[in-house]
Structure 1
Amino acid sequence: MACARLSDRRIISIAGPDRVAFLQGLVSNDVSTCDAHTSIWAALLTPKGRYRADFFLSAQDDRLLLDIDATRADATLTQLKRYSLRAKIEISLPEGQVYAGWDVPPPSGACADPRLPQAGWRKIILEGADMLQCDHDLADYAAHCLALGLPPSSIYQIDETLLLEANFDLLNGISWIKGCYVGQEVTARMHYRGGVKKRLVPVTTPQACLPDPGTILTLEDGQEAGEMRLAHVQTGVALLRKPFWRRSFRLNGIEIMPSPPAWFPNDDSDI
């Protein structure tokens, strides 16, 4: 099967009678929609609306499970415990594995990737249960996602990235009707006032390779197109200013060509 074990992910468990209400007031998406067959993609923000972590959230038995980038897990666990106060919850880091599959039907207990149908499915298996047999690896899954315009969590900068710049609004990562959460005011203001001036956009080059991540894309005429965030030989992702979302440009002799994915709106006035 087209399945990969995602060795770069960890699992956070939140149990207890207040688990839904607790997370509902913290994260960007509607926790009440999670069940055994439905997951959400959500982010945890600072009070100023900046990114701290993102994760897939699903329900299993009497607990909620966060499927999160391993490098974000410990800090997120600490932050959740700080917010817990008198909430009747239990937060832990259980052992287990996260799997993802694409181009094949999902196994029992899997949830569709909530970002895009083409992304496939995800499944959490806790320690003690039978694991899945896979014929793909983490690099295959990363390439599959990048081809869809879905970058890894590592591309989002902690305490800096805004959700709309990271396309959470285009990929079902935000609920606009569920009510308040930490950082909601800044996120809603950008959405309703049309304040999105930069977005993450896949880019390519016909040259040997793209500039290194972190490179500021300043053109010869002094215009700043944006910043490279991910580069893998001839494909990558850049945080581009709106005039460059569909406009090719050159940097030190390298032609950089934005390639917005199919889910990126055709009319810039819509975003």
Structure 2
Amino acid sequence: MLGQLKRLFSTTASRLALPQGVPVAGHLRLPRSLVAVSGPDSSKFLNGLLTIRPPDAPEGVSTGKYGAMLNSKGRVVFDSFIYPAHGSPLLAESLPGVDVANCYLLEVDTELADRALRVFNFYKLQSKITVSLAANLGVWFAWNDEADLDLGSVGETINNCRLSTLDERAPGLGARAIATVDPFENVGSSVQLDVYRLRRYLFGVPEGSAEIVPDKALPLEYCMDYMGGVEFDKGCYVGQELTIRTHHHGVVRKRVAPLVFTEPGEAIPEDLYIPHEMQVGPGDEIFDAKPLPNADALGTTPYTMPSPASQSASDSISPFKGSSPFPLRAGARPAGKVICTLGNVGLGTIRIDKLGHDFKIGDISVTGLTPYWWPESATE
């Protein structure tokens, strides 16, 4: 397991120590809810909706799997971890009266739990399944950058099925478990949610509805293929057509990557993180720091409609009668957009061919980092 954040990134900046506020080991409960899908058709039903095959429960420890559900246009509805919980006594106790012999637990953002229930019931049709909310169970996360986590001692076990998994979206990120009480209480110290967010941002891993905006985010732009959340050799599922076509024939021009913001003239701190907030926020557009000739600081060219007297007959009148409303030269396109921030770090979508360039948002300098776990082909 990679235990040092100083090897997380490939960039021109000098390299990193462990960021302020991120302990070597820690644990917390996540704001995630659990939806139970049970019944004889549960595996077949989920296979037709998710970007991955529902995991089975083989002998071993790590059984959970990362994936997502898309809408018919190939946009993400929610990201999820899927756990096979067939016959789990923990689940039977939490959901009395529900047949848990063939059951999966899907971990989703709490803000999207009700929508997940509605979507599953909408697609249910004649499938022999039951969909319910496992309200008594929680999702816990832990990491230890100095030692491997022992998942063998975590979670309830029956038929070699543990309700826990390594979080393999990025190597060394941590582990997750489902329980009624904290199963990681002996792993480091209890931390606040912002510490978990900071750790994810530095790894370049988005999560939840605030970062993976429902019905807008494309799975490949959000690196779900890099994180093992999309299988390209499985059968049909909702939203598959656009995803497969982009993978095989299209080009993914933008991807989510870590961002570091600095004040004018300020160097990137060695440990990257500074707690104070910057004057940037979600939705802010990122521009190349090197403007076009005669362009403003953001690389755009101001345009003022010339008066009719200053125009020649050949360039002042369009075929449709009247002056053209378009600039004489196009300004620079944004290189990306901010998704989320915490202090002076965050996540944003960045054009891959622009990674390594200098960016700006107004007077704020922006540095895009390439996570170490991206495949080498990502930036070619």
Q: Report the TM-score when normalising by structure 1.
A: 0.91
Equivalent residue pairs, number? 266
Q: Gaps spanning 5+ residues in structure 2: where?
A: 1-24, 88-100, 156-163, 264-276, 288-297, 301-330
Equivalent position SS for 2:66 = strand
What is the Cα deviation at residue 205 of structure 1? 2.1
List per-residue Cα deviations over 1:108-166 (Å, max 9, x = no partner).
232111312311111111x5xx5436332322222222221112322112211110011
Cross-structure match for 2:336: 226
Q: Distance in 1 between matches of 2:363 and 2:376?
A: 28
Which residue number in structure 1 is paired with residue 355 of structure 2? 245
- Partner-residue secondary structure (3-state), 1:102: strand
2:196 is the counterpart of 1:86: no
Structure 1 residue 264 displacement after superposition: 2.1
In 1: Cα distance, 2:337 partner to 2:54 partner: 33
Task: Look up the SS of the partner of 1:3 in the other structure.
Answer: strand
1:105 equivalent among 150, 155, 159 = 150
Q: Relative to structure 1, is the Cα distance of residues 55 and 260 closer, same or farther in structure 2, using a 3 angstrom cutoff?
A: same
Superposition pairs of residues 64-143 of structure 1, within 5 angstroms: 64-94=104-134, 95-103=136-144, 104-106=149-151, 107-109=153-155, 110-125=164-179, 127=180, 130-132=181-183, 134=185, 135-137=189-191, 138-143=193-198
- How far has the Cα of 1:269 moved from its partner? 5.8
Deviation at 1:217, TM superposition (A): 2.3
Q: For residues 269 and 243 of structure 1, do their structure 2 counterparts lie closer, same or farther at Cα, with a shift above 3 Å needed? A: closer
Task: Report the Cα offset of residue 38 of structure 1.
Answer: 1.3
Q: Contact between 1:41 and 1:55, CA under 8 Å: does it hold in 2?
A: yes
1:28 aligns with 2:74: no
The farther-off stretch of 215-224 and 247-256 is: 215-224
Deviations 1:90-110 (A, max 9, x none): 110012111111114333232
| Partner Cα distance (1:188, 1:37) in 2 | 27
TM-aligned CA deviation for residue 266 of structure 1: 3.7
Contact 2:285 2:361 in 1 (8 A): no
Secondary structure (helix, strand or coil) at the match of 1:159 reads: coil
TM-score for both structures, normalised by structure 2: 0.66
- Residues 1:85 and 1:258: Cα distance change in structure 2 (over 3 Å): same
| AA of the residue aligned to 2:177 | K
* Greater C-alpha Rg: 2
Contact 1:34 1:40 in 2 (8 A): no
Q: Secondary structure at the match of 2:335?
A: strand
Shift in alpha-carbon separation, 1:89–1:230, aligned structure 2, 3 A: same
What are the equivalent positions in structure 2 for 1:1-271 lying under 5 Å apart?
Answer: 2-6=26-30, 8-33=31-56, 37-60=62-85, 61=87, 62=101, 63-94=103-134, 95-103=136-144, 104-106=149-151, 107-109=153-155, 110-125=164-179, 127=180, 130-132=181-183, 134=185, 135-137=189-191, 138-153=193-208, 154-207=210-263, 209=278, 211-218=280-287, 219-221=298-300, 222-223=331-332, 224-268=334-378
Within 1, Cα distance between the matches of 2:182 and 2:360?
48
Which range moved further: 69-78 or 36-45?
A: 36-45
